């Protein structure tokens, strides 16, 4: 199912046109194998969020190729008719801001996606609770989002990104509001997911606590990427 992981070739994104146009991505190449967690690092304004949004079919690239799993999804134009289904079934998003649904409790915020995908409610809730437990927020399972701290909300949002076991997970600064121990436990969970479900995962981060854990890192600067070995430090 996860097939080839993520493959990006010559990806370009221009915002706007004419004098005010911004070339945010200038020909990005990147590959993430199934089962791999890769770091994406770069200064503010270098194009990290733009890259994740293109890959997540949230915005339209300008040119290039993108492959997710076995599917060529973009080749100078979208090759998938239903982008909403692509986002729902193939991609788990973890954003900087949690965007929880305010009128659903924590468990249902996480269980909603599998329910929408046709998983029976009991199983969806059980799956949600497993992830909430792994992320150490199970004691907040019945709380409403407004009752949670920022760090708790973020951990719930991470559970929601993982719950449908998508072949691709895109995480934009997922550990920014978390303390060191919780940040590392998030990375441990992402690595477990990757191994267990052959998920290809990209983590955008500045977080010095987690950067040493990546085996491979892409640096992005001025809209271009280059690849580097990471330390691949074991998480104790
Ligand atoms: N919607 C937009 N319209 C115009 N320019 C944008 C838009 N979003 C991002 N940019 C520009 O594209 C460049 C890359 O931004 P972004 O991908 O958000 O960088 P990062 O996430 O690395 O901080 C920046 O110069 C930014 O100002
Ligand atoms: Mg950003």
Task: Give the H/E segment covering residue 225.
Answer: strand 224-229
Per-residue model confidence as pLDDT tens digits over 94-113: 877 778 999 999 999 999 99
- Residue 74's region, left for phi above 0, alpha for psi from -120 to 50, else beta, is beta
- In the numeric block, which tokens belong to residue 100? 């929880």
Strand order in the sheet with 63-68: 22-32, 6-15, 63-68, 71-75
Is the pLDDT reported for residue 12 higher than 60?
yes
Q: What is the pLDDT of residue 24?
A: 98
Quickly count: other Cβ atoms within 10 Å of residue 96's Cβ.
15
The secondary structure of 8-77 as a DSSP string is EEEEEEEES-GGG-EEEEEEEEEEE-TT-EEEEE--TTSSHHHHHHHHTTSS--SEEEEEETTEEEEESS
What residues are neighbours of ligand 2 (ion), with CB under 5 Å? 48-49
Q: What is the pLDDT of residue 123?
A: 97
Give the SS3 label for residue 79.
coil
Is the pLDDT reported for residue 25 higher than 50?
yes
Higher pLDDT, 207 or 95: 207
Residue 166 CA to residue 203 CA, distance in Å, equals 15
Distance 233 CA to ligand 1 centre (A): 31
| Whether residue 17 has its Cβ less than 6 Å from ligand 1 | no
Per-residue model confidence as pLDDT tens digits over 151-168: 899 889 989 998 988 999
Q: What is the pLDDT of residue 3?
A: 63
| Whether residue 223 has its Cβ less than 6 Å from ligand 1 | no
| Whether residue 24 has its Cβ less than 6 Å from ligand 1 | yes
Distance 55 CA to ligand 1 centre (A): 15
Higher pLDDT, 63 or 95: 63
Residue 49 CA to residue 38 CA, distance in Å, equals 15
Mean per-residue pLDDT over the chain, rounded = 92
Is the pLDDT reported for residue 1 higher than 80?
no
CATH for 35-55+90-229, among 2.40.10.10, 3.30.300.30, 3.40.50.300, 3.40.50.620? 3.40.50.300
| Whether residue 43 has its Cβ less than 6 Å from ligand 1 | no
For ligand 1, atom 11, name the residue with the nearest CA: 24
């Amino acid at each position: 199912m996860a097939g080839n992981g993520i493959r990006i070739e010559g990806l370009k994104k221009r915002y706007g046109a004419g004098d005010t146009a911004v070339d945010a991505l200038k020909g990005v190449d990147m590959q993430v194998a199934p089962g791999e967690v890769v770091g994406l690092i770069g200064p503010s304004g270098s194009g990290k969020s733009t890259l994740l949004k293109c890959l997540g079919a949230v915005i339209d690239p300008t040119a290039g190729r993108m492959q997710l799993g076995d599917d060529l999804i973009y080749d100078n134009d979208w090759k998938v008719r239903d982008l909403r289904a692509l986002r729902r079934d193939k991609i788990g998003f973890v954003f900087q801001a949690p965007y929880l649904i305010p009128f659903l409790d924590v468990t249902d915020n996480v269980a909603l996606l599998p329910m929408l995908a046709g998983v029976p409610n009991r199983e969806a809730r059980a799956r949600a609770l497993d992830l909430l437990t792994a992320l150490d927020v199970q004691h907040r399972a019945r709380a409403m989002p407004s009752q949670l701290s920022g760090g708790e909300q973020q951990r719930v949002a991470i559970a929601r990104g993982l719950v449908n076991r998508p072949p691709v997970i895109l995480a934009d600064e997922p550990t920014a509001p978390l303390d060191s121990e919780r940040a590392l436990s998030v990375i441990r969970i992402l690595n477990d997911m990757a191994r267990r479900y052959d998920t290809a995962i990209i983590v955008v981060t500045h977080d010095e606590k987690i950067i040493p854990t990546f085996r491979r890192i892409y640096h992005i600067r001025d809209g271009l990427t280059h690849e580097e070995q990471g330390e691949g430090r074991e998480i104790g």
